[in-house]
Amino acid sequence: MGERPATPRDQLSRWTRALVAFSAACATVAVSMPAAATERTPTGSGAGHEQILENLYGHPHWQGRLLWLDLAANRTALDTREEVRDVMRRTAEVGFDSVVVDVKNPSGYVAYQSRIAPHLSTTKIPDYQPYPADYDLLQTVVEEGHRYGLDVIAAVNVFSEGSTTYRDGPAYDNPHWQTTYLTVTRAAVTGDGARRRVDGIDVTRGADMLVIYTPEHYNVSPANQWGVEASVVDGKVVEVVDRVDGAPPLAVPDDGFVLSGHGEAATWMRENLVEGTELTVEADVDFIRAQDHPSPATFVNPNLPEVQDYELAILEEIARNYDVDGIALDRARYSNLDADFSPKSRAAFEAYLGRPVENWPDDVMTYELEGFAARRVEGPLFTRWIEWRAHVIQEFFQRARDRVLGIDPSLYFTDYVGAWYPLYYEEGVNWGSRKRQPDYEWASERYGETGYAEDLDFLMVGTYFEDVTRQDAIDSGRPADWYSVEGSAEIAVQEVNEATFVYASLYLLQYHDDPERFRAAMEMALQRTHGIMLFDLIYLEQYDWWGIVREVFDQFPRTRAPHTNPGWHRMLRADG
């Protein structure tokens, strides 16, 4: 598709719609809002944006109401115009103001006509086929969503570019993009240095595997006779049997374990183990590419300039060619705490520090074994590493925002993250305010400066917990009371620190057997933040919960998303 020519509607329609809605909402407030509520909604020039945002939590007339449309889950439910039109109509009728349509999912494939990214119809991932080659989901949702007065936000999965299961996606066309993971395996090591990788603990022994069986799970080795077994106590082999000759399985010692090998592993045992051999199990720390990691999504390295340029080009393409109302980033992060440990990331980190890392990766982090469990060991540079990764993501967000708004400043720029902020550093992201310093052991003295909330027009935080209230989480025995919709929403509000609007997001699958708990979660999300996003359309359809959504929204029938208020919008951008 060629570049869409600019029209007066492109430049004026979003502001016009927002102004009309703003005027209507103000009229509603003046007529029907209780006096106390009216007094706590400052809009004059003397009110700073922090006070305005603080007063808007749980506001009855300013609430964002968004519905997410996941590409994979709704692939066959949104692949015709008629289906999209029906969904847009029902979405608007129950009270949503926006849809967030996933047009580039973790596979790296897209559901719009792109000159940059591969179309979903071309993937070899079986779950995504068939998909019509000429179908433009984004254009269809834009046209039908606007027909019913809905804002349409295009969601782009950023740093996930393939399916590890099917070895498919841009990360496989460009393998040098793939992230490098720090990984730990176990190795059986003899006193004279012979080593063999341990393939599992208390698992079924397959071909060529070396497996450990422990007394916590077994009294006797469960493996079949086609292999070799050794009983190990206090770091020494006390018995070796070759069961191919018909020997019975070894008993698992109460103060040790059984080592069981098949095929090549059995050969290694025959060559290296006899009664009295010293044998320990050690951690083997190594680096592997994303395609060899168990994650189903193949992540790429966010620090690579060519990766960032590719992702930015996709955002630019959507902003130029489609009449969307906004762009949302998803998975704009590192895969997990073990990424990225490539040589290029090491070099970039050393440049950030201004000095070389003497012991790599130990000065950052490594792994040791406690028994057979891997334990992370943080080095002296661990918190600076956490800071640097967050800095990389912050700079990308700023580049992305500048590119998108440089094309159309009326677009909304947003992000979708997990609300578990105390743990989210593991993804290399600080979605909080850069004016707030978090109080956690993993946060360096300058970690707060890496926040990017100020760069967003609003933030969707996944309050993905089954428990609704803090007390529910305590009663359920959760690790902390913030493992709840209420607690995680309050932490999100605290860390964003009134830098932008916060919309709590619910994962409907977590309430599949309890519609009243879903209702309570919706009400809690609306009370504690500036609005709500529901993930996902597929569950509204499966559970037929449209009625519940309407009933909750009808408690406050005349609302508008606060990020669409032109005055507040301009104020946030100016202050950010």
Assign 24 a pLDDT band (cuts: 50, 70, 90): very low
Ranges 265-269, 320-324, 369-373: which has the least confidence: 369-373
Report the percent of the chain where pLDDT is more than 90: 90
Task: Note the pLDDT of residue 520.
Answer: 98
Of 457, 478, 462, nearest to 427 by C-alpha is 462
Report the percent of the chain where pLDDT is more than 70: 92
134, 91 contact by CB (below 8 A): no
Q: How far apart are CA 435 and CA 424, in angstroms?
A: 18
Which residue's entry shows tokens 């970039």?
A: 348
Average pLDDT value for residue range 223-230: 97
How far from chain centre, in Å, is Cα 107? Answer: 14
Average pLDDT value for residue range 160-182: 98
Q: What is the DSSP string of 436-465?
A: ----STT--TTGGGG--GGG-SEEEEE---
Of 495, 512, 505, 571, nearest to 534 by C-alpha is 505
234 Cβ contact list (under 8 Å, min separation 6)? 255, 256
Average pLDDT value for residue range 491-511: 98
Burial of 65 (0-12, 13-18, 19+ CB in 10 A): buried
Which residue's entry shows tokens 């012991």?
A: 359
If one counts every other C-beta atom within 10 angstroms of the C-beta of residue 16, the result is: 12
Q: How far apart are CA 126 and CA 324, in angstroms?
A: 30
Average pLDDT value for residue range 80-106: 98
Q: What is the CATH number of domain 180-289?
A: 2.60.120
Q: How far apart are CA 391 and CA 334, in angstroms?
A: 12
Task: Note the pLDDT of residue 557.
Answer: 87
Task: Note the pLDDT of residue 70.
Answer: 98
Six token digits for residue 565: 């208020």
Q: Which helix (H) or strand (E) holds 85?
A: helix 81-94
Average pLDDT value for residue range 239-248: 95
Counts of helices then strands in the chain (DSSP H, E): 17, 20
Burial of 202 (0-12, 13-18, 19+ CB in 10 A): middle
What is the length of the chain?
576
400 Cβ contact list (under 8 Å, min separation 6)? 311, 312, 315, 329, 332, 413
pLDDT surpasses 50 at 4: no
Assign 575 a pLDDT band (cuts: 50, 70, 90): confident
282, 189 contact by CB (below 8 A): yes
Q: How far apart are CA 465 and CA 418, in angstroms?
A: 11
Assign 202 a pLDDT band (cuts: 50, 70, 90): very high
Task: Tell me the pairing of strands 64-69 and 98-104.
Answer: parallel
CA distances from 30 to 23, 27, 94, 417, 529 (A): 11, 5, 24, 35, 23
If one counts every other C-beta atom within 10 angstroms of the C-beta of residue 449, the result is: 16
Six token digits for residue 128: 């995504």
Assign 47 a pLDDT band (cuts: 50, 70, 90): low
Assign 87 a pLDDT band (cuts: 50, 70, 90): very high
Task: Note the pLDDT of residue 576.
Answer: 79
The model's pLDDT over 263-319, given as tens digits with 9 standing for 90+, comes to: 999 999 999 999 999 999 999 999 999 999 999 999 999 999 999 999 999 999 999
Task: Note the pLDDT of residue 48.
Answer: 83
pLDDT surpasses 50 at 10: no
436, 506 contact by CB (below 8 A): no
Assign 540 a pLDDT band (cuts: 50, 70, 90): very high
For the chain, which residues make up each domain, given as ranges?
A: 180-289
Task: Note the pLDDT of residue 188.
Answer: 97
Query: What string of H, E and C letters represents the secondary structure of 482-516?
Result: CCCHHHHHHHHHHHHCCCCEEEEEEEHHHHCCCHH
pTM: 0.90
Task: Tell me the pairing of strands 326-330 and 151-157.
Answer: parallel
Six token digits for residue 51: 């006070």
Task: Note the pLDDT of residue 369.
Answer: 93
Which residue's entry shows tokens 């891997």?
A: 374
Task: Note the pLDDT of residue 115.
Answer: 98
pLDDT surpasses 90 at 212: yes
Burial of 128 (0-12, 13-18, 19+ CB in 10 A): buried
Beta strands in 18-86 (DSSP E): 64-69
